[in-house]
A and B are shown apart, each in its own frame.
Chain A
Amino acid sequence: QIQLVQSGPELKKPGESVKISCKASGYTFTNYGIYWVKQAPGQGLQYMGWINTATGKSTYADDFKGRFVFFLETSASTAFLQINNLKNEDMAAYFCTRGPYYFDYWGQGVMVTVSS
Chain B
Amino acid sequence: SAVISQKPSRDICQRGTSLTIQCQVDSQVTMMFWYRQQPGQSLTLIATANQGSEATYESGFVIDKFPISRPNLTFSTLTVSNMSPEDSSIYLCSARDATDTQYFGPGTRLTVL
Q: Do A and B bind each other?
A: no
Q: Which residues of A contact B (CB under 8 A)?
A: none
Q: Which residues of B contact A (CB under 8 A)?
A: none
